[in-house]
Structure 1
Amino acid sequence: MTGAPADLRTVCVTGASGFIASWIVKMLLEKGYNVRGTVRNPEIAKHLLGLPGASDRLQLLAADISTPGVFDSIFEGCDGVFHTSTPTPGAYDSASMSEADYIETAVKGTLNVLESCAKLTRPLKRLVLTSSMAAVHFAKKLTPDSVIDETFFSDPDVIRNIPTIGKDFKGYILSKTYAEKAAWDFVEKHKNLSMVAINPVMTIGPSLQGTVNPTNSFPLDLLSGELKTIPNAVRGWIGVKDCAMAHILAYEKPEAHGRYIVSQSTLHFADLAAVLRKLFPNYKVEASLELDESEPRAPMYFVSTQKVKELGLDMEPLEDVLKDAIQCFISLGRLQDQKLK
């Protein structure tokens, strides 16, 4: 990696202990940045302290994104901010969270970050917001022939009327949609803020945290035998390292603007299962796609990734991402080593 540009060297990453955020921190340190990482509980961020460069250039700070003004002093002296922190199903205190809780936490936290950015005595070079494909895909203008691009924005009424989405995931989708919309509305009123949004699809790959995040659960549960039925759904997939690099390119490139969908492949879960079976034939995969006569296989859709490619992102093949992920699961003791080929 090339070094950090001289005028962009001190940055803050909110929610620094997260799956994607940990890789952002790692890559920033590798490039020579001084990094301030905010976390709810520094105890869950200890894995970051062992990263190369962390002893000299990483500072971990406790901060609750729902507290107004908590970032005022933390952001002072920063050239940029990466706002990744958000409530996520399975990775947050989500068991007792209602739809309204998801939305309030995400929107309030995002606005607290933006308000602190707007008050800085020295303006930021850029804020990079981690949004989601969830805030793109569920747009009113979506048709079977659509090529989904950055002009699509999810509509809350569309989201609420999809019967196949569970309560937790529906709350998450709504929270990402409302939070990104609130962020763009804020930036429109505060012209001194430069913001870019990253909208990744399902993000998979090796974990730095020592745990397996929810988006990695499909390949893990499929190969371990815990998964019995393959979901009848299509998703976009991206490697976590490429997702992290997209954030950094969006920060460093002066020409970066607006939103960036980050996706390497779009596959039905059954097709991803077929890839996993081919890559790891020594694992006995018993899960299958079970459809009754009235249930058609979920149709494919198409996603444009031209904009992020123009930013300079060269994405790793999905098969290589999966190999790295499975090797990580084995090293964490979450999957038995079946002599990977």
Structure 2
Amino acid sequence: MYQDDEKNAHLKKLDNASTNLQLFKADLLDYGALSSAISGCQGIFHVASPAPARDVSDPEKEILDPAVKGTLNVLKASKEAGARRVVHVSSILAISMHPNWPQDRVMDETCWSDKDFCLKDEHWYCLSKTLAESSALKYAQKIGLDLISVCPTLVIGPMLQPVVNGSNRVFIQFLKGTLIYARYPLTLRECCSWHGNPGHWKRHLLMLLSNFRKLVFLEGLSYLYTLSVCDSYYACTFF
């Protein structure tokens, strides 16, 4: 159990947190700590990935290893714990970073960001999300783990924490007019209801939107966990 009153005070104020919430401290590269936290869980939502707001001196140590090796550690621990399903939150940046992509060709669930381009231009976060997701899908198939991968764009909404996070900083720029191009996600439950039963599909769903939709991201992740059959599932939107 992890106790840090100042950092986690807002989480402890959630409904029924006193009885239903347990916090564990675990480094993504510390398999033992992850295994201890995951033990006994039936559903795992892996959302952690380093996203530094500054230049990094050692991208492999600070970004790539925690993203890739950390994700594989989570999957391994989930399999050993007998988890029913893992929902892995990837990113649109694992799909869209492709400078030579034809402008008249729509990106779909088969698209992957160009790893060589990300490496050359030092887009470390994009590279980490691409490597982490592709590695996760291969590893999950190898060990027989039920994995769903979600690729959201900009995740915004009411904040639980008392400080502004990276996504909401982008949204503030949009409201101030300092950012004229932005990508937004929509409710994953809405995506599923529009397109039938996603349980029969694998990696898919790239939506093109021209309007702003309300996001219920956590509800969407929970819904993906409850699907009876879904090998891997994308929910991506553009604005």
| Larger CA Rg, structure 1 vs 2 | 1
Does structure 1 residue 250 correspond to structure 2 residue 232? no
Deviation of 1:98 (Å):
3.3
Deviation of 1:160 (Å):
3.6
Task: Sort the Cα spacing of 1:113 and 1:40 in 2 relative to 1 into closer, same or farther, 3 A.
Answer: farther
Give the letter aligned to residue 36 of structure 2: S
Q: Which residue of 2 aligns with 1:195?
A: 147
Task: Sort the Cα spacing of 1:230 and 1:85 in 2 relative to 1 into closer, same or farther, 3 A.
Answer: closer
Task: Please give the per-residue CA displacement for 1:277-300, whole angstroms capped at 9, x wherever unaligned.
Answer: xxxxxxxxxxxxxxxxxxxxxxxx
Deviation of 1:157 (Å):
1.3
Task: Sort the Cα spacing of 1:238 and 1:60 in 2 relative to 1 into closer, same or farther, 3 A.
Answer: same
Identity of paired residues, percent?
31
Partner of 1:196, secondary structure, is strand
Task: Sort the Cα spacing of 1:144 and 1:39 in 2 relative to 1 into closer, same or farther, 3 A.
Answer: farther
Deviation of 1:244 (Å):
2.0
> Distance in 1 between the 2:236 and 2:75 partners?
23
> Distance in 1 between the 2:4 and 2:135 partners?
26
Does structure 1 residue 98 correspond to structure 2 residue 50? no
Give the letter aligned to residue 59 of structure 2: E
In the alignment of these two chains, the number of paired residues is: 211
Q: Which residue of 1 aligns with 2:18?
A: 55
CA contact (8 A) 2:118 2:124 kept: no
Moved over 4 A (4+): 38-43
Q: Which residue of 2 aligns with 1:149?
A: 108
CA contact (8 A) 2:27 2:34 kept: no
Structure 1 residue runs without a partner (length 5+): 1-37, 267-341
> Distance in 2 between the 1:128 and 1:141 partners?
30
Partner of 1:238, secondary structure, is coil
> Distance in 2 between the 1:185 and 1:179 partners?
10
Give the letter aligned to residue 111 of structure 1: L
> Distance in 2 between the 1:112 and 1:134 partners?
22
CA contact (8 A) 1:243 1:262 kept: no
Q: Which residue of 1 aligns with 2:74?
A: 113
CA contact (8 A) 1:72 1:116 kept: yes
RMSD between aligned alpha carbons?
Answer: 2.6
Does structure 1 residue 159 correspond to structure 2 residue 159? no
> Distance in 2 between the 1:180 and 1:41 partners?
31
> Distance in 1 between the 2:18 and 2:140 partners?
35
Deviation of 1:241 (Å):
4.0
> Distance in 2 between the 1:261 and 1:131 partners?
10
Structure 2 residue runs without a partner (length 5+): 187-213
Does structure 1 residue 69 correspond to structure 2 residue 32? yes
> Distance in 1 between the 2:215 and 2:40 partners?
27
Task: Please give the per-residue CA displacement for 1:166-224, whole angstroms capped at 9, x wherever unaligned.
Answer: x5xx1111111111111112112101x1000110001122211111111221332455x
Task: Sort the Cα spacing of 1:39 and 1:89 in 2 relative to 1 into closer, same or farther, 3 A.
Answer: farther
